[in-house]
Structure 1
Amino acid sequence: MLPLPRSVTWGAGEFELTARTGLSVGEGLDGVAHWLRGALGPALDRWLPPAGADGTIALAVDSALPASGYLLVVTRDGVTLLGGDPAGVFHGAQTLRQLLPPAAYRRAPVADGPWRIPAVTVRDAPRYGWRGCMLDVARHFMPKADVLRFVDLLAAHKLNVLHLHLTDDQGWRVEIPGYPLLTEVGGWRAESMVGSRQHGRFDGRPHGGYYTADDLREIVGYAAARFVTVVPEIDLPGHTQSAVAAYPWLAPGHGPVGVRTGWGLSPHGIDLTDDTLEFCRNVLDEVCALFPGEFIGIGGDECPPDQPLDARRRFGRALVDHLATHGRRAYAWDEILEGGAPRGVAVAAWRGPGVTRAAAEAGHDVVACPDLSTYLDYRQSDHADEPVPVGTVLTVDDVYAFDPATLAPDHPERLLGAQCNVWTEHMPTTRAVDYMVFPRLCAFAEVVWNSGRHADFRDRLAEHLPRLDAMGVEYRPEAGPLPWQRRPDAAGWPRDRADRESELDALVNAPR
């Protein structure tokens, strides 16, 4: 099982799922039951009717269990799955699915069975409340169907936050009433850079796309049914060239600019004026209407040097206060700490362990996502055939060695959890995302679920890979990329770990 539950006690015998196995559904669990029938029915060719002559799978909530935790008991006679809340029952159902053969993950029958579940008692609960993944759909747009698939993959690994990076210099991906040019102009670019920015190569091919309001409502609802919260991010006030391209009055001193076609930082950020602040408030109003979760991402990172720190601080505080009028909390990258972050901001700490500690000591809730442990766009080996090798080497074992608890040891109550980040400059397709994300996300999922310190992890990962195969995930093989996963046309820019650590230290400690 992966992530490994807290306690597993194997019993004698097994329970066989037949066409007459029933599903008993406790109060408040209709959604979980609907998901379980849909998850198992197509592959097993049986749909778990309400009552069964050949034993029952019983779902119920038991408030004595911890939130998001569960108790799963399988005997020869049936299955009992109790959760501290519906989320706990859902997580237990994911574990139940893992106890079946990998063919249970397919969308149509490929085997006749029998479908047997070993007798076992599993007691389990998550380590952190924030078990997340950031997906950048701004640099390369991911169509809605692929986002829904990605949600399923997160849920299968008991991750519960999808941080959706919706806007950046290279594209604006969310429809905003009153500002149609944000998507009509800002939603596409004339071409894209090929490989690392140091090489200055472009493909000459337009790229674009955006989500309608109904698309995003669908994504949010689909994720909620799988107990995944979508945290949207509108990156402000830097990383806004796509907005400036759509509405030049946001930065009149820059002159007309197009949507950025290259990677790296843009000098074309919005001006920090009352007019642009009103624009940002209007955008956030619409975002709050689409995303009902507690947190709304406001970026705050890598701002152009012509945006003075004091002005950025005032601007950021105004956005935080505005979100508070909606009953929401701002979520921002750790640059928001520079000069003192507004109270109530949750911080995504990406620039090393010291920033996580500093955010917690300053009284901020923090999500740990240090790039040297959690950036899944970084290369997976030092072999020359890795596609677009950028960043430092970050192997499955490196991700598994990550321990968020060590980053805020004096203020553990401030550590909401952790997330991995998937920046997509070099991932133009879902196949490329699969390669870069898996199986490293499997290692990360265990870290945030139960600590990730288990000697048998590699053995369990090997048993987990056939499940990924069944779900159609084109993960990186242990031996390295397959021929079609390589990118000889796109040169990278590998980094040495010590050099990157020095660079981060300079960034964090630079005078402001």
Structure 2
Amino acid sequence: MDLIPAPVSSVRLPDQDFPLDRTTTLTAPPELAGAERWLRSSLTAATGLPLAPGRPGEGVELLLDAALAGEAYRLSVRPGHAVITAGGPAGALWGAQTLRRLLGPDAYRRAPLRPSGWVLPGVDLTDGPRFGWRGALLDVARHFLPKSDVLRFVDQLSAHKLNVLHLHLTDDQGWRVEIKRYPGLTERASWRERSMVGYRSAGRRDDRPHGGFYTQDDLREIVAYAAERAVTVVPEIDLPGHTQAAVAAYPELGNTDVVDTGALGVWTDWGVSHNVLNPSEATLRFFEGVLEEVLEIFPSEFVHLGGDECPKEQWKDSAAAQARIRELGLSNEDELQSHIIRHFDRWLAERGRRLIGWDEILEGGLAPGAAVSSWRGYSGGIAAAQAGHDVVMCPEQHVYLDHRQAPGEREPVPVGFVRTLEDVYRFEPVPAQLDQEAARRVIGTQANLWSEFMDSARDIDYRAFPRLAAFAEVAWSALPADPAARDFAGFEQRLAGHLEVLDALGVEYRPAGGPHPWQTRPGVQGRPIDGPPPAV
């Protein structure tokens, strides 16, 4: 049945098919109204069938079974009756996604290609996810992505049963979220005068101003749209590094005794700026104000506060920062960064939320309630899990999907290690070094799409797919823990049918034989890394 991600179990019943027609109904209890609404809207658009509400025991029916886990479901198809039995609203939505897939690629169109011939194959299917956090990071700070493209990406995640959109909203190169008490963050920090084209060593620039931001209502719309599709949006407000855009708008946030922060603009280079936040109480109050508005927009349990790649040269040179270290009784600049992260860990916990940050937050001592996104390999995640902290595994050596998919000059702006479709399929999120108790701390995994070299949805499509489909199966399905034992050939066979789904969705994925001519970027220099990724 070409299902990706693969279900826990499925049995095809060839003589039990269920043809759909204009009399077919769709029914659900109030608790599953969201999944019912989504399924009716999607299938009516694609098939032209009204799928009016009906009576229990007929048509397509969604049922609730509290004995199942919240994201688990069963799907049974017989002549005249298809039943999705779910443990909760998310499970019902995933069951609805599977039912849609059983109708074939044309069920992903936005208008019907034919008036009849829609058939659900007879099946008994049981399913549920391996991990609770199955995420993808979308970097909208380096290159802004219009709201409509973010909503489209949410649809792509949900179609693959990925349930977390990590939205990287702020960085040195741009601030993308409206904060009403600090209008300068959108008036000044949301755009830059120009952008690098490719890697810095080429010295190429696009002298077109770049920018944009999401209003608070835009973001509420994205959150609500994602929730209807069982996707949680986790916002990221990076601090204390990756903050030059904020300092450009509010110079008092910077280290004013060592740099003329009033002369700074939003950074036009890629990489890591040395202009970081000062560690004063006033700066903490500023970002508490930012986060108060962020919490009003995003109901997610976790809030990502970055904490990565914070150069500390300015703190070493700043008399004010050194005085702050002495005032707080700290030993060094690493502990100063840890103080800032711990402060916001407590602040979020007091409001019923949890901090998550990149694995640099381990430096100087990890905040007690914090979770870790392990990106510099497995080691940070291993240390955090063994210390009793929750971990999301996203090592750059495996699941940074901005990294190139093949060697050679045809890959557009080739970056990083070669990470093929098979490489991603053989990624294992739980390190073998962890014992059973620590392994339970690995709450999930995430693929990251950093956008320095992606300036449109078409670029994101190319780098994400079809590798994100392979990642989705790693995150959802019960694959062998030994990557070498995984049936990649079987996945490739199923992928052939799945690519027709991507075609119907309008996803401009990378063809197996290499990019189409219009997907190349001749002459734009990247940053390829030769040789295999280092062991992690």
Fold shared, TM-score > 0.5 on shorter chain: yes
Structure 2 contact 21–116 (Cα < 8 Å) conserved: no
Which structure 2 residues correspond to residues 375-390 of structure 1 after superposition, within 5 A?
375-390=400-415
Structure 1 contact 22–53 (Cα < 8 Å) conserved: no
Which structure 2 residues correspond to residues 279-290 of structure 1 after superposition, within 5 A?
279-290=286-297
Cα shift readout 1:374-423 (whole Å, capped 9, x = no counterpart): 10000000021100001000011000000112256311110111000000
Tell me whether 1:109 sits opposite 2:112 in the alignment: yes
Structure 1 residues 279 and 490, CA, compared in 2 at 3 Å: closer, same or farther? same
What is the alpha-carbon distance in structure 2 between the residues aligned to residue 101 and residue 450 of structure 1? 21
Tell me whether 1:189 sits opposite 2:192 in the alignment: yes
Local SS of the residue matching 1:405: coil
Q: Which residue of 2 aligns with 1:469?
A: 503
Q: Give the letter for the 2:169 counterpart.
A: L
Which structure 2 residues correspond to residues 268-417 of structure 1 after superposition, within 5 A?
268-306=275-313, 307=315, 308-406=333-431, 409-410=434-435, 411-417=438-444
For residue 501 of structure 1, report the CA deviation from its aligned partner: 2.5
For residue 309 of structure 1, report the CA deviation from its aligned partner: 1.1
Structure 1 contact 353–407 (Cα < 8 Å) conserved: no
Structure 1 contact 61–82 (Cα < 8 Å) conserved: yes
Local SS of the residue matching 2:349: helix
Which structure 2 residues correspond to residues 132-211 of structure 1 after superposition, within 5 A?
132-211=135-214
Tell me whether 1:457 sits opposite 2:459 in the alignment: no
What is the alpha-carbon distance in structure 2 between the residues aligned to residue 190 and residue 328 of structure 1? 36
For residue 178 of structure 1, report the CA deviation from its aligned partner: 1.4
Structure 1 residues 274 and 497, CA, compared in 2 at 3 Å: closer, same or farther? farther
Tell me whether 1:491 sits opposite 2:525 in the alignment: yes
Local SS of the residue matching 2:189: coil
What is the alpha-carbon distance in structure 1 between the residues aligned to residue 349 and residue 67 of structure 2? 33
What is the alpha-carbon distance in structure 1 between the residues aligned to residue 143 and residue 396 of structure 2? 20
Structure 2 contact 404–411 (Cα < 8 Å) conserved: yes
For residue 371 of structure 1, report the CA deviation from its aligned partner: 0.5
Q: Which runs of 5+ in 2 are unaligned?
A: 316-332, 480-485
Local SS of the residue matching 2:167: strand
Structure 1, 386-395 or 45-54: larger mean CA deviation = 45-54
Which structure 2 residues correspond to residues 50-129 of structure 1 after superposition, within 5 A?
50-51=53-54, 55-129=58-132
What is the alpha-carbon distance in structure 1 between the residues aligned to residue 145 and residue 478 of structure 2? 31
Local SS of the residue matching 2:405: coil
For residue 324 of structure 1, report the CA deviation from its aligned partner: 1.2
For residue 77 of structure 1, report the CA deviation from its aligned partner: 2.4
Structure 1 contact 356–407 (Cα < 8 Å) conserved: no
Structure 2 contact 62–85 (Cα < 8 Å) conserved: yes
Local SS of the residue matching 1:218: helix
Q: Which runs of 5+ in 1 are unaligned?
A: 506-512
What is the alpha-carbon distance in structure 2 between the residues aligned to residue 451 and residue 198 of structure 1? 43
Q: Which residue of 2 aligns with 1:254?
A: 259
Q: TM-score, normalised by structure 2?
A: 0.92
Instruction: State, as a whole percentage, how many aligned pairs show the same letter.
Output: 53
Cα shift readout 1:99-155 (whole Å, capped 9, x = no counterpart): 012111000112233001110000001000000001000000011111111101100
Cα shift readout 1:307-366 (whole Å, capped 9, x = no counterpart): 421211111111111111211100100000012111110100011122221111122100
Q: Give the letter for the 1:152 counterpart.
A: D
What is the alpha-carbon distance in structure 1 between the residues aligned to residue 123 and residue 226 of structure 2? 29
Q: Give the letter for the 2:259 counterpart.
A: H
Structure 1 residues 53 and 217, CA, compared in 2 at 3 Å: closer, same or farther? closer
For residue 47 of structure 1, report the CA deviation from its aligned partner: 2.0
Structure 1 contact 20–52 (Cα < 8 Å) conserved: no
Structure 1 residues 389 and 405, CA, compared in 2 at 3 Å: closer, same or farther? same
Q: TM-score, normalised by structure 1?
A: 0.96
Match of 2:451 among 420, 424, 449: 424
For residue 270 of structure 1, report the CA deviation from its aligned partner: 1.1
Match of 2:468 among 416, 437, 441: 441
Structure 1 residues 451 and 494, CA, compared in 2 at 3 Å: closer, same or farther? farther
Structure 1 contact 21–52 (Cα < 8 Å) conserved: no
Structure 2 contact 335–365 (Cα < 8 Å) conserved: no
What is the alpha-carbon distance in structure 1 between the residues aligned to residue 456 and residue 230 of structure 2? 26
Structure 1, 10-19 or 305-314: larger mean CA deviation = 305-314
For residue 305 of structure 1, report the CA deviation from its aligned partner: 2.3
Structure 1 residues 54 and 17, CA, compared in 2 at 3 Å: closer, same or farther? farther
Structure 1 residues 408 and 61, CA, compared in 2 at 3 Å: closer, same or farther? farther
Structure 1 contact 18–54 (Cα < 8 Å) conserved: no
Q: Which residue of 2 aligns with 1:508?
A: none
Match of 1:7 among 6, 9, 14: 9
Local SS of the residue matching 1:128: coil
What is the alpha-carbon distance in structure 1 between the residues aligned to residue 523 and residue 165 of structure 2? 31
What is the alpha-carbon distance in structure 1 between the residues aligned to residue 245 and residue 233 of structure 2? 23
Local SS of the residue matching 1:141: coil
Local SS of the residue matching 1:501: coil
Local SS of the residue matching 2:66: coil
What is the alpha-carbon distance in structure 2 between the residues aligned to residue 27 and residue 218 of structure 1? 22
Structure 1 contact 192–207 (Cα < 8 Å) conserved: yes
Structure 1 contact 106–471 (Cα < 8 Å) conserved: yes
Structure 2 contact 27–55 (Cα < 8 Å) conserved: no
What is the alpha-carbon distance in structure 2 between the residues aligned to residue 323 and residue 201 of structure 1? 42
